[in-house]
């Protein structure tokens, strides 16, 4: 009986569609700087000087009138400005100035604003620049070994962006928290978080939604 030669199996070259997709390699340095649309920060010294003059002018004026009135009372002279000191036109602005002073002191003591930051895989270090009200910007460097946690946050469920909160050991063992980033797309945050998790492990938390 004649045997027909067997037909060799047909082979097909592998295509890109057959190759499992591999995630893109994250660069060793991630630098984030917000756009001008969302950037904010400390005010200039000129603005602070303006508020300071506005703050002290009226109280100094009232103190001068009070000093003159006390001097006239001690000398038995007619009180020139006694009615002025009790005038609502003066007391009202004085009360407003006191409220403004409280707001300014609260503003000066507010938390610094981080306007750009970078994670460096090669140097195992976080570097960020922060600005406090009425002060010059300063750069802070944090070793990965000093980081307690990094937590990504989403303000609302429907939003497609978020920010990070880093907690680390500062000078003299002080625990410091800083907010990193403004309006970072969630897609980018997912890639960055996976990259950071590969370096600091469980200290890189999962995404948390702040919406109640």
Q: Could you give the C-alpha distances from 83 to 43, 80, 86, 89, in angstroms and in order?
A: 39, 8, 5, 11
The fold of 111-209 is PH-domain like (2.30.29)
Mean pLDDT of 2-18: 50
Q: State phi, psi for 196 to the nearest 5 degrees.
A: -65, -35
Q: Judge whether residue 165 has pLDDT over 90.
A: yes
Distance CA(51)–CA(193), nearest Å, equals 42
pTM: 0.64
pLDDT interval class at 155 (50, 70, 90): confident
Least confident of 44-48, 105-109, 154-158: 44-48
What angle is formed at CA 118 by the lines to CA 112 and CA 121, rounded to 5 degrees?
140
């Amino acid at each position: 009986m004649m045997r027909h030669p067997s037909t060799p199996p047909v082979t097909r070259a592998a295509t890109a569609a057959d190759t499992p997709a591999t995630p893109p390699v994250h660069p060793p340095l991630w630098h984030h700087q917000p756009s001008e649309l969302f950037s904010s920060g400390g005010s200039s010294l000129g603005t602070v000087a303006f508020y300071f003059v506005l703050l002290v002018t009226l109280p100094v004026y009232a103190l001068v009138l009070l000093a003159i009135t006390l001097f006239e009372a001690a000398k038995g002279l007619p009180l020139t400005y006694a009615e002025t000191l009790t005038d609502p036109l003066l007391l009202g602005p004085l009360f407003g100035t006191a409220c403004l002073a409280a707001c300014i002191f609260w503003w000066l003591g507010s938390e610094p604003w981080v306007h750009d930051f970078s994670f460096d895989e090669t140097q195992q270090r976080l570097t960020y620049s922060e600005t406090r009200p009425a002060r010059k910007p300063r750069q802070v460097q944090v070793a990965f070994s000093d980081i307690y946690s990094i937590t990504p946050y989403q303000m609302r469920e429907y939003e497609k962006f978020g920010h990070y909160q880093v907690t680390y050991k500062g000078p003299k063992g002080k625990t410091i928290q800083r907010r990193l980033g403004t309006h970072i797309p969630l897609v980018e945050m997912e890639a960055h978080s996976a990259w950071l998790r590969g370096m600091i492990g469980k200290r890189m938390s999962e995404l948390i939604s702040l919406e109640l």
